[in-house]
Amino acid sequence: MKHTIPFFLLWIFLFSCAPKTVLIGPPYNYGKMDKRSIKLHQNVEKFIYYGVTDGVPLKLHPRTRIDTLVIDDKNLSVRIDFNKYFSYTPLREDNVGRVYQTLREMIGGKYRNYDVQVRSREYPIQELIPNYFRSRKTDHDLSRKPLPDRQRPLPLVRPQRPWSVPSGLAGKNIVVAHSHGWHYDNVEQRWEWMRPRLFQTVEDLLPMSFTIPYLIPMLENAGAYVFVPRERDIQVHEVVVDNDSLASKASQYLEWQRSSEFTWQTGSDSGFALSPIPYLYGVNPFRQGTSRFTDADTTASAGIDWVPDIPEDGRYAVYISFHAGADHVDDASYTVQHRGGSSTFVINQQIGGGTWVYLGTFAFAKGVHPDSGSVHLSNISKSPGRLVSADAVRFGGGMGNVSRGGSVSGRPRFMEGARYYLQYAGMPDSLVYSHTNDKDDYVDDRVSRTEYANYLKGMPYGPNKDRQQKGLGVPVDLSLAFHTDAGISQNDTTIGTLMIYSSTGADTQNVFPDSVSRLANRDFGDILQTELVDDIRSRFDPVWNRRDLMDS
């Protein structure tokens, strides 16, 4: 005989079967239970109480509740289903073992011969232990391990350095999104911060002070290429050198070829153009102009030089753009001439076209200096006959140039939210940065950061509105958001480190399109949170709080 006990919505209640304390949830409804089921239910309630108040046998979230209890006398089994909040605790082999041992002791000897199953979010809790923390490889869940991608393209950007990074994050593509930004409030009809001012800063800016100088360089030095859905350069000046138009009369766009066989031509597809500025809603700068192309050669028989008129001494991020295609080279050679010398990059022009592609941040002197302030593209390639494409090159982060409510933000672009940068970066509006049909920039900004990663990768991982959208063909390995969550507490206790992941997609599926389990998200989030908290506790604060491992 099976007895199923229903779960009810959460509210505030006083725990009635243990020492009085405030837990979160309504009183359970025992009306449809027999005495035996009520007794079992109350014993499990006590288990939750001790977990919440004393952390025994493990620390539980105060919203932890019993979803269902199933007693199967025929098969001698008891199944205990907790709600999702049970899973907010990091699980390991030792604390999972203690959970089962404690529950067996608390539910009584009547069930000593019963098989006890404990679940949360419909997973046996032992399945929520990351592979990394399992003592035996034979216990690893292979469904959450990445599948080999034999058709993976060459990396989009390959810096030519005097050293190599053969392992680590070599060839990996990581999207790092740092929080909110200056945005247009559609209701108040004004530009403003998304988060409150606090301690002379604002969360719209603070995360950048971690990601730009520390996190992103660390990932890059480990071999990864990092995409950022907001402007990463704090330089307020910007110079765009383009075949269609020049930002400055002194800037130079120079094409050359050694024979007519390698003459630069205008492509049939659209490319970048500066005008019309400011960009109104729905205007894609990479659909306003043209791009150029020529045939690749085994020697440098053609090239283009972009020479900016730098307005002020300083460091400027350099972004290139091009048209991508299957018939293009995967080894286009770009060289940046700067005050520190020259830096060469090999670009895979079969992916990542029609947007700004970051090369690096370099020192430039004021004025026009071709030998120490330019970008050079050569048509030399190991694949002669394929196409080499060229479009605009951008120096510096600049000021916001997207108009909302009849005006631009008036702030440097790095202060603005992702929604505006992604429009400037050529992303499609309805798929990436405008999900509310131009009605709510706050929501659009939040959604755009994740959809940017989806569009970078493309089918079948494309934006949620169109999973089969081709996108840019960049194999994204990880999308990571970094927030500081500005706030205060009523005491001197640190708030701690929160980790949020998703075990299901927007399509409610618990697997990725390639069938890899989305529990891989939990594994990674748990490992990363564990490392961060352990490091902070050992070096800075021994009582640093580990917050939830939250499934969004």
For the residues of 365-396, what is the DSSP string, one character each?
A: -SB--TTTSEEEEE-B-SSTTSEEEE--EEES
Determine the Cα angle at 176 with ends 170 and 178, to 5°: 155
What contacts 24+ positions apart, CB below 8 Å, involve 187-192? 189/405, 190/405, 191/404, 191/407, 191/409, 191/410, 191/411
Burial of 399 from C-beta contacts in 10 A (0-12 / 13-18 / 19+) = middle
Q: Which helix (H) or strand (E) holds 270?
A: strand 265-271
Residue type, 526: D
Q: Burial code of 71-102, b = ≥16 C-beta within 10 A, e = fewer?
A: beeeeeebbbbbbbbbbbbbbbeeebeebeeb
Query: Do the beta carbons of residue 231 and residue 399 sit within 8 Å?
Result: no
Amino acid at 479: S
109 pLDDT tier (thresholds 50, 70, 90): confident
CATH architecture of 239-395: Sandwich (2.60)
CB neighbours of residue 515 within 10 Å: 9
Per-residue model confidence as pLDDT tens digits over 196-245: 888 888 999 999 999 999 999 999 999 999 999 999 999 999 999 999 98
pLDDT in tens, 4-56: 433 332 222 333 333 344 467 889 999 999 999 999 999 999 999 999 999 99
Q: Is the pLDDT of residue 169 over 50?
A: yes
Instruction: Kindly tell me the burial class for residue 65, based on how many C-beta atoms sit within 10 Å of its own C-beta (0-12, 13-18, 19 or more).
Output: buried
> Could you tell me the pLDDT band of residue 485, with boundaries at 50, 70 and 90?
confident
pLDDT of residue 12: 29
Collect all residues with Cβ–Cβ distance below 8 Å to 404 and sequence separation of at least 6.
184, 191, 281, 420, 441
More confident residue, 177 or 506: 177
User: Which distant-in-sequence residues (6+ apart) come within 8 Å of 135 by Cβ?
Assistant: 93
Torsion of CA 465, 471, 475, 480, to 10 degrees: -50
Q: Where in the chain is the domain with CATH 2.60.120.260?
A: 239-395
Q: How far apart are CA 267 and CA 290, in angstroms?
A: 7
Collapse the DSSP code of 482 into the 3-class scheme (helix H, G, I; strand E, B; otherwise coil) and give the result. Answer: strand
Is residue 518 within 8 A of residue 214, CB to CB? The reply is no
The answer for residues whose C-beta is within 8 angstroms of residue 187's C-beta and 6 or more apart is none
pLDDT of amino acid 23:
61
> Does the model's pTM come out above 0.75?
yes
Ranking 53-57, 79-83, 275-279, 308-312 by mean pLDDT, the lowest is 275-279
Residue 345 near residue 359, CB atoms below 8 Å:
yes
Residue 35: CB atoms within 10 Å: 8
The helix or strand, by DSSP H or E, that contains position 52, with its residue range, turns out to be helix 35-53
Task: Give the β-pairing of 478-482 and 173-178.
Answer: parallel
